């Protein structure tokens, strides 16, 4: 997350920062009014990816006895029950897709764009 934050701030073009400085903005105003709004899409993309990866990783916690959505997968694998494996995999996949769509909606709201459908 820290690396994504730094990458987002580094992605702001130098001429934009120079222009803000030339307009008389203080360092704090440059950060809050210029750099953060321009870095926000990169930050949001990093969080979006992290959430999707963590949902998949959380399902693996069932291998050590945690009660997660991965439990049907583990039970299905240990009992050779394909229906349980598919049920668990489908639930984990649907949760990851729902989280991804929620972040997509959040990105659209934050950017003030509407997507043509």
% of the chain surpassing 70 pLDDT: 96
Whether residue 97 is contained in a domain is answered as yes
Position 80 confidence tier, pLDDT thresholds 50, 70, 90: very high
If one counts every other C-beta atom within 10 angstroms of the C-beta of residue 98, the result is 11
Q: Is residue 117 part of a domain?
A: no
- The structure's pTM equals 0.76
pLDDT at 117: 45
For residue 106, being part of any structural domain is answered with yes
| Within-domain flag for 116 | no
With 50 as the cut, is the pLDDT of residue 70 above it?
yes
CATH of the domain at 30: 1.10.3720.10
Residue 82's pLDDT is 94
Total domains present in the chain: 1
pLDDT at 113: 57
Residue 85: inside a domain: yes
* Domain hosting residue 26, numbered range: 2-111
Q: What is the DSSP string of 71-108?
A: HHHHHHHHTT-HHHHHHHHHHHHHHHHHHHHHHHHHHH
Residue range 4-49, pLDDT digits in tens? 888 899 999 999 999 999 999 999 999 999 999 999 989 998 999 9
- Whether 114 has a pLDDT exceeding 90, the answer reads no
Those residues with Cβ within 8 angstroms of residue 107's Cβ, 6 or more apart along the chain or in another chain: 41, 44, 48
Is 17 inside a domain boundary?
yes
Please give the mean pLDDT across all residues of the chain. 89
User: Is residue 55 within 8 Å of 92, Cβ to Cβ?
Assistant: yes
In a domain, 80, yes or no: yes
């Amino acid at each position: 997350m820290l690396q994504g934050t730094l990458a987002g701030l580094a992605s702001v073009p130098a001429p934009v920062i120079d222009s803000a400085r030339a307009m008389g903005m203080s360092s704090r105003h440059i950060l809050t009014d210029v750099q953060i709004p321009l870095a926000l899409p990169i930050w949001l993309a990093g969080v979006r990816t992290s959430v999707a990866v963590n949902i998949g990783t959380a399902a693996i916690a069932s291998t050590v006895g945690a009660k997660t959505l991965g439990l049907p997968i583990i039970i299905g694998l240990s009992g050779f029950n394909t229906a349980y494996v598919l049920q668990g995999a489908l639930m984990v996949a649907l949760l990851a897709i729902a989280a991804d769509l929620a972040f997509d909606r959040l990105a659209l709201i934050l950017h003030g764009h509407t997507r043509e459908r």
